[in-house]
Structure 1
Amino acid sequence: MPSAEFHSRTTTVRGLPTHDLHAAGPGGLPIVLVHGLAVSHRYLMPTARALATRHPVLVPDLPGFGKTGKPRFAYDVSAHAEHLAAWLDTLALPRVCLAGHSFGAEVVARLAVHRPDLTAAIVLAGPTTDPAARSRRALIGRWALDLFVEQPWQAPVLARDVADAKPWRVLATVGHSVRNAIERDLRRLPVPPLVLGGSLDPVAPLLWRTEVATMTGGVAVTIPQAAHNALTTSPRRSADAITAYLRTRMSDVVAVARSRPGPR
């Protein structure tokens, strides 16, 4: 199947130029891929391209990252979620699949809780932060371990993203991440999520991902021989897992709709 063509766009949202790449795909439920705290849309593009042969896909840059405008302060989880919701409203999108990776999973969880009207499905890929590592020192230590199991070809992409965001913003966002108790949002998600992660991931390890799936009534899928950046290094398997989840999720929605009594 030929690859879908992605287009760059900048939309002014709450006075901030907000960049995304998007592909129309063949139709179906739109998927919004949300990046983590030190990076941008760039590292998500392998999975975005794999998904775009099956669904419309949008990959925004959060405020301060990638090609989106740079506020003078680092947004916390709530501010990012509010901005992402305003961006979706500006684009007048219908309900979507919100798919967040790492810190992006925290943003997606907060957005889904506060805007269930925008949320048809949820993917939490390598969600942070595991309560067992909820401090700057512990989280940075886990990322250091991840460097030993990631594929080295990613380094130039990640270095460019950190340079765009500036190290101070990355460190400030680490602080926002470890101060955010994601489980408060997880217990209130409007739909059961897919919890996705690599078998080698030390940042969001299997034990934590299993706890997230149990807490949310979701399903956990582990990608063999992948580390924290599974959406970069295992795009086909990640896309397959997301597509399978969406197929089941949409079937459940249709079944519930058909079971409701019609007008009398």
Structure 2
Amino acid sequence: MSRPDRLEIEAAGHLGHVYVSTRPAGPAGGEGAGPAVVLIHGIGVSHRYLSRLHGLLAESVDTYSIDLPGFGATPRPEHTLSVANHATFILGALEQLGVLEFVLVGHSMGTQFAIEAALQQPGRISQLVLMGPVVDAKRRTVAQQALALGRDSLFFESPSSNALVFTDYLRCGPTWYLKTLRVMMGYATEQKIARVSAPVLVVRGANDPVASAGWCSRLAAQAAQGQLLEIEGTGHVVQHNRSVEVAGAILDFAGIRRTAGEAPQGRPA
């Protein structure tokens, strides 16, 4: 699979980047392969830590990864964006690209953007996948979140996932990160998910101290149609360290025919 094309998209008054991998039309191509899959990053980072997952999914289905305004190499907006603002950008950018129905996959704070998008335009999102969702309702302080993230990076992440995350944090910068952090901490994920009509798959690394087992179980239970999948041997950045298992789980959950890859090795819960 070739490298995805990068498109600069302006939507809802903001500029972002969309990384696109589309399959050729025809019997083995994109037509009939199922809805597209869209990947959304979390706070401070970019599409880069989603690239392994993107590549695997793109073998079977049209795949889009988005760098939201203010993250990666995109320009900083003049004011702090709410979760709803980010969701509006995602929906608008995809509409411009003609992607009207899709599976939406978010990681960490990206799960908040994904939930909000599913609430804004529920008819467009066929399934919702939440990887390492935040913020645990029993860990509502910045100090608790920072401690969990520190434990994760020290004990449960690979050198490559740490390198991707920390270099993106440097690109993001402390000012924009902290502004966005306040938005993340104020979003009531556990209340919002109850209003989502699409089927929801919650995915966590079994060692993830940020998205705890109890928290993820509660989110899956509060969704109208919720499932939980735990993947052994990894922490918060599950989609990078266990990309084969996560890709397989997404495709199976969405009912998308796989043309390559292996069956997921996670432990359903």
TM-score (norm 1): 0.89
Letter aligned with residue 56 of structure 1: D
255, 258, 261: which is aligned to 1:247? 255
What are structure 2's unaligned runs of at least 5 residues? 24-28, 257-269
Give CA deviations for 1:155-193 in whole Å, capped at 9, x if unaligned: 332232112211111122121111111122100102121
> 1:223-242 to 2 correspondence within 5 Å?
223-242=231-250
1:182 and 2:199 are equivalent in the alignment: no
6, 12, 15: which is aligned to 2:10? 12
Q: Is the 8 A contact 1:39 1:165 kept in 2?
A: yes
The separation in 2 between residues aligned to 1:56 and 1:201, in whole angstroms, is: 29
Where does residue 51 of structure 1 map in the other structure? Answer: 57
Of residues 86-95 and 50-59 in structure 1, the stretch that sits farther from structure 2 once superposed is: 86-95
Where does residue 79 of structure 1 map in the other structure? Answer: 85
Where does residue 39 of structure 1 map in the other structure? Answer: 45
The separation in 2 between residues aligned to 1:245 and 1:140, in whole angstroms, is: 32
Letter aligned with residue 244 of structure 1: D
User: Are the structure 2 counterparts of residues 73 and 164 from structure 1 closer, same or farther at C-alpha, using a change threshold of 3 Å?
Assistant: farther
- What's the CA shift for 1:87? 1.2
> 1:110-259 to 2 correspondence within 5 Å?
110-148=116-154, 149-216=156-223, 217-247=225-255
The separation in 1 between residues aligned to 2:73 and 2:171, in whole angstroms, is: 8
- What's the CA shift for 1:73? 2.8
Aligned length: 246
Q: Is the 8 A contact 1:73 1:169 kept in 2?
A: no
Q: Is the 8 A contact 2:36 2:102 kept in 1?
A: yes
Structure 1 segments of 4+ aligned residues over 4 angstroms from their partners: none
Identical columns (%): 28
- What's the CA shift for 1:197? 0.9
What are structure 1's unaligned runs of at least 5 residues? 249-264
Secondary structure of 2:248's aligned partner: helix
Q: Is the 8 A contact 2:153 2:162 kept in 1?
A: no
Letter aligned with residue 207 of structure 2: L
- What's the CA shift for 1:16? 2.8
RMSD value over aligned CA atoms? 1.4
- What's the CA shift for 1:119? 0.9
Letter aligned with residue 199 of structure 1: A
Give CA deviations for 1:134-166 in whole Å, capped at 9, x if unaligned: 121111111111112111222332232112211
